[in-house]
Amino acid sequence: MKQINLLISTIDNRILGLKKIIKDETVIYTVSHQVTSKLSEETLFYIEELQKKSYVIYSQIHSKGVAKNRNNALKHRVKGSICLLCDDDVVYFEDSFEKLRDAFKDDSLEFLTFKIKTFAGKDYKKYKDYEFTQSLRTLTSIGIVDVAFREEVIEKYALEFDERFGPGGYYAIGEDFIFMSDANKKRASIVYKPLEIVQHEELGTGSTLEDKIIFGRGAMFARIFGMISVAVNTLFAIKHYKRYKKKYTFLNYWKLLNKGTLDFYKKHNN
């Protein structure tokens, strides 16, 4: 039976949310716990309980940034396993891990993307009802909680999360798409199957309309698309105009995207 390894990122007292995730003793749970403030007595007790469990790997770090937390989880992954990167606010269906084991019987499959359902039972976003191979274009809407992968791809493709991006990083968005786009550029096998695996709340960071998110998206496009990122900014601003038109004019939105792109080139593009 193929080993499943859940790589869970959590912070401070939010670790208590893992009580609804860590249930199946046939799964190995790697817990990367960012500690940035004083922990409650309940949390300290729960950490002690986790450390007693043979199927839990607990690691604590004292830094900020989701990407740093995910990279720490990757460092403690189980060799030869099927890995899932997840947060402390998701719930897996009872048959999720069996579905994943069955899917990865295909030896050519390296990354699998699948469906997220909301807690109300709706699709988290628009999904195809058929299997297909992901491209850079289709990966634009990817979130890391709807991805599973073979452990060995991390070393094979030298993958890690770009710690400049994501909540707590210099840019507030983009760590998931960058990670998957790096895998795509290195020609990893990334396949979507319409499997219902995990439940999550409806909204994510990328869907909020804030200056720092738009600015960060422009930087993300620069990191991924390079010299054509200004054209990508323009196409994105046109395509999503209805989403932001009540708060931003097209020109203001487009300028914020380009400001992020220019900032990335000035400060971080090596």
Q: What is the mean pLDDT of residues 148-164?
A: 97
Relative to beta strand 82-86, strand 4-11 is parallel
Confidence (pLDDT) at 92: 94
Distance CA 26, CA 44 (A): 25
Q: Rg of the chain's alpha carbons, rounded to an integer?
A: 19
- What pLDDT sits at residue 206? 47
Predicted confidence at residue 205, as pLDDT, reads: 45
Instruction: Name the average pLDDT for the chain.
Output: 93
Token pair listed for 238:
């046109």
Q: Could you read off the pLDDT of 80-104 as tens digits, one per residue? A: 999 999 999 999 999 999 999 999 9
CB atoms within 10 A of CB 247: 10
Beta-carbon contacts of 228 under 8 Å, excluding residues fewer than 6 positions away, are none
Query: Considering the entire predicted model, what is its pTM?
Result: 0.93
Question: Which secondary structure element, helix H or strand E, spans residue 137, and what is its range?
Answer: none
Residue 172 and residue 213 in contact, taking contact as beta carbons nearer than 8 Å: yes
| Predicted pLDDT of residue 150 | 97
Q: Percent of the chain scored above 70 by pLDDT?
A: 97
Phi-psi region of 121 (alpha: psi -120 to 50; beta: other; left: phi over 0): left
How large a percentage of the chain has pLDDT more than 90?
Answer: 86
Picking from 231, 254, 259, 229, the residue whose alpha carbon sits closest to that of residue 241 is 254
Delineate the domains of the chain, giving CATH numbers in brackets.
Answer: 4-203 (3.90.550.10), 209-267 (no CATH)
pLDDT in tens, 117-154: 998 889 888 899 999 999 998 998 888 899 999 999 99
State residue 270's pLDDT score: 57
DSSP string, 241-252: HHHHTTT--HHH
pLDDT at 202: 76
Predicted pLDDT at 121: 87
| CA-closest candidate to residue 8, choices 33, 26, 36, 31 | 31
Report strand pairing: 111-118 vs 56-61: unpaired
How far is residue 98's CA from residue 95's CA, in Å, rounded to a whole number? Answer: 5
Q: pLDDT class for 207, splitting at 50, 70, 90?
A: low
Per-residue confidence (pLDDT) for residue 203, from 0 to 100: 64
pLDDT at 208: 66
Mean pLDDT over residues 192-208, rounded?
78
Residue pLDDT, tens place only, 28-82? 999 999 999 999 999 999 999 999 999 999 999 999 999 999 999 999 999 999 9
Which residue, among 203, 236, 239, 241, has the nearest Cα to 221 in the 3D structure? 236
